[in-house]
């Protein structure tokens, strides 16, 4: 198993510069500690965020600064909303980022993102067509990267004449690609091409398992070997000396995030997807921990919870722990990351991409 961080920025508003510097500080620490990957959320402005939260709508720019301060960590968006932008511009920005980061450290992560009509309509685009537009945008990006002569785009959503997209990526054929999607056509395409499948940190183990089975089915049919190595999942993880201490460290920040996210339908989503009632106050953290959505406690407690999660999902190749939050203090967040890599990761590192218990269960089901 490989490890990474998911920089899912949600820091109370101060200035964007301060939030970005803290995000970068965590990426630099992750690089020092040996995390392989860092995925950065692309968060655009919404009414609930005004004066409340600093967002990062251009993660590629943050990656370029972080690259100069790190040595080996790979970085990608989770996810770049390519259905909002012309594929020529997406292709050029990604290629420039690839060159600036260098050493095969850039991951082209893409998807449709949070299902808000706002982002499409701000740009005069249709929300209902976002999945089809994304598919067309992806093919346009790939064509920009691999076509040496000027060409025309004549699509349903995107068009252009005499396109010369420079620079090309360092190695377009070997560019790591990642997507987070609930769309079956995109899931099939991703599996057949060997793209990394990303899963969000609030997806249930059962939901992740179902998506993973679909991915494996499509990938296996396409002749992809060991497809579960391409599954990357994320979890909210925080380590302290005890679960009680962890909960108290997180209480204020989680209550603040829940209060803002509630305006975006977050609590309604938890009720619908998990039948979970989360109070919009300081008690939110207990409800989220009890439901298993936040994995917190001592290293031993966190290890046990992550092993249970791993078995319930059927296995995966990479685990991302969520950063970008204002839990406790920067010093305590750093301590949590250090303890994860020194006291938890060694107990997970040798787990195979396929969880043995899940594999046995599937074999029994097939036999019956």
Q: What pLDDT digit, counting tens, does each position of 243-258 carry?
A: 999 999 999 999 999 9
Q: Sorting pLDDT into bands at 50, 70 and 90, what band is 278?
A: very high
Handedness of CA 295, 21, 46, 129 (dihedral sign): negative
Neighbouring C-beta atoms of residue 266, cutoff 10 Å: 18
Q: Which of 53, 48, 114 is CA-nearest to residue 84?
A: 114
Whether the bond between 161 and the residue before it is cis, its omega within 30 degrees of 0, is no
Asked whether 234 and 322 are in contact (CB, 8 A), the reply is yes
Asked whether 276 and 202 are in contact (CB, 8 A), the reply is no
Q: Sorting pLDDT into bands at 50, 70 and 90, what band is 111?
A: very high
Q: Sorting pLDDT into bands at 50, 70 and 90, what band is 329?
A: very high
Report how many domains make up the chain: 1
The torsion angle over the Cα atoms of residues 217, 145, 101 and 344, rounded to 10 degrees, is 0
362 inside domain: no
In degrees and rounded to multiples of 5, residue 325 shows phi and psi of -110, 165
Asked whether 299 and 321 are in contact (CB, 8 A), the reply is no
> What's the DSSP call for residue 140?
H
User: Based on the number of CB atoms within 10 Å of its own CB, is 367 exposed (0-12), middle (13-18) or buried (19 or more)?
Assistant: exposed
What per-residue confidence (pLDDT) applies to 366? 42
Full residue range of the structural domain in which residue 36 is found: 2-78+181-234+319-352
Distances (CA, A) of 199 to 124, 161, 195, 232, 317: 29, 37, 13, 6, 12
307 inside domain: no
276 inside domain: no
122 inside domain: no
d(CA 229, CA 219): 11
Beta strands 151-154 and 159-163, pairing class: antiparallel
What integer is the mean pLDDT of 187-213? 96
What integer is the mean pLDDT of 354-362? 62
210 inside domain: yes
Side-chain half-sphere CA neighbours of 150 within 13 A: 4
Average pLDDT value for the chain: 95
Asked whether 27 and 65 are in contact (CB, 8 A), the reply is no
10 inside domain: yes
Q: Sorting pLDDT into bands at 50, 70 and 90, what band is 273?
A: confident
What per-residue confidence (pLDDT) applies to 356? 74
pTM of the model: 0.95
289 inside domain: no
Q: How far is CA 112 from the centre of its chain?
A: 12
Q: Sorting pLDDT into bands at 50, 70 and 90, what band is 181?
A: confident
Q: Sorting pLDDT into bands at 50, 70 and 90, what band is 361?
A: very low
192 inside domain: yes
What integer is the mean pLDDT of 38-46? 97
């Amino acid at each position: 198993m490989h490890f990474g961080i998911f920089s899912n920025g949600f820091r109370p508003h101060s200035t964007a510069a301060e939030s970005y510097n803290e995000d970068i500080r965590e990426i630099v620490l992750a690089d020092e500690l040996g995390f392989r990957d860092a995925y950065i959320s692309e968060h655009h402005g919404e009414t609930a965020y005004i004066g409340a939260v600093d967002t990062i709508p251009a993660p590629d720019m943050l990656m370029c600064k972080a690259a100069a301060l790190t040595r080996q960590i790979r970085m990608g968006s989770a996810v770049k909303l390519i259905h909002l932008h012309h594929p020529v511009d997406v292709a050029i920005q990604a290629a420039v980022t690839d060159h600036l980061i260098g050493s095969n450290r850039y991951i082209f992560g893409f998807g449709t993102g949070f299902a808000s009509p706002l982002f499409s309509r701000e740009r005069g685009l249709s929300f209902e067509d976002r999945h089809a537009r994304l598919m067309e945008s992806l093919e346009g990006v790939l064509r920009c990267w691999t076509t040496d002569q000027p060409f025309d785009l004549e699509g349903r959503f995107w068009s252009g004449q005499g396109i010369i997209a420079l620079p090309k990526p360092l190695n377009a054929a070997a560019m790591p690609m990642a997507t987070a999607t609930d769309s079956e056509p995109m899931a099939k395409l991703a599996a057949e091409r060997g793209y990394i499948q990303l899963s969000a940190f609030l997806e249930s183990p059962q939901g992740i398992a179902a998506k993973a089975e679909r991915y494996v089915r499509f990938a296996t049919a396409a002749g992809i070997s060991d497809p579960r190595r391409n599954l990357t999942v994320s979890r909210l993880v925080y380590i302290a000396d005890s679960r009680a201490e962890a909960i108290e460290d997180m209480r204020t920040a989680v209550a603040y995030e829940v209060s803002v996210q509630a305006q975006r339908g977050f609590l309604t989503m938890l009720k619908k997807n998990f039948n979970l009632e989360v109070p919009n106050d300081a008690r939110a953290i207990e409800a989220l921990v009890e439901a298993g959505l936040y994995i917190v406690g001592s290293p031993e407690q966190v290890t046990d919870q992550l092993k249970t999660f791993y078995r319930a999902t059927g296995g995966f190749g990479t685990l991302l722990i969520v950063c970008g939050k204002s839990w406790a203090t920067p010093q305590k967040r750093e301590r949590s990351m250090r303890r994860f890599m020194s006291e938890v990761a060694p107990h997970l590192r040798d787990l195979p991409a396929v969880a043995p218990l899940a594999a046995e269960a599937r074999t029994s089901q097939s036999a019956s």
